[in-house]
């Protein structure tokens, strides 16, 4: 399954306790974090979040004085097996769609993995990947 969702990018000080504050602010408003990526710099970090309620998350974080930018990304459920990411990459490459960044997770015993993709053409990627997944079910 391929789904277009809003991802939130937060620009934070890179020091102890800052991520804990973000998590506490969201938890108080019952916003669940579904995916997270943290990229560090010397004095700042970019935290990318996928949540179950991006509108509430943006409002909540903004009210706490945290700079938030949202954008569309894709979440793809893939089989947790060798070659699954390669198949996605080949489909996007053949459609001339660039993967700008991604993050994913699966534990060894899970049957599926969740992949978050930021791509150069979200709509085109969604169509191409849905065709791939539909052909696998046929």
- Span 55-86, pLDDT tens digits: 999 999 999 999 999 999 999 999 999 999 99
pLDDT at 138: 45
Nearest CA to 7 out of 44, 45, 52, 40 is that of 52
The span from the CA of 29 to the CA of 25, in Å, is 7
pTM of the entire predicted model: 0.88
Sheet holding 99-105, edge to edge: 33-40, 44-51, 2-13, 68-79, 112-119, 99-105
Domains of the chain: 2-72 (3.30.2130.10), 78-137 (3.30.70.260)
Enumerate the β-bridge partners of residue 2.
76
Q: What is the DSSP letter of 106?
A: -
Per-residue pLDDT of 3-48, as tens digits, reads 999 999 999 999 999 999 999 999 999 999 999 999 988 889 999 9
Exposure string over 19-39, b if 16+ CB within 10 A, otherwise e: beebeebbeeeebebebbbee
The span from the CA of 87 to the CA of 136, in Å, is 11
| Segment 92-96 mean pLDDT | 96
Please answer whether residues 73 and 118 qualify as being in contact, where contact means their C-beta atoms are separated by less than 8 angstroms. Answer: yes
């Amino acid at each position: 399954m391929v789904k277009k969702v809003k991802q939130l990018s937060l620009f934070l000080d890179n020091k102890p306790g800052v991520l804990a504050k973000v998590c506490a602010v969201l938890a108080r408003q019952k916003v669940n974090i579904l995916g997270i990526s943290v990229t560090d710099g010397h004095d700042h970090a970019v935290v990318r979040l996928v949540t179950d309620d991006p509108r509430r998350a943006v409002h909540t974080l903004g009210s706490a004085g945290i700079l938030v930018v949202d954008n569309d990304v894709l979440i793809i459920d893939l089989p947790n097996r060798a070659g699954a990411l390669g198949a996605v990459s080949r489909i996007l490459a053949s459609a001339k769609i660039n993967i700008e960044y991604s993050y994913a997770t699966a534990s060894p015993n899970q049957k599926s993995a969740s992949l978050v993709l930021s791509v150069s053409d979200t709509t085109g990627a969604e169509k191409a990947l849905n065709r791939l997944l539909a052909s696998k079910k046929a």
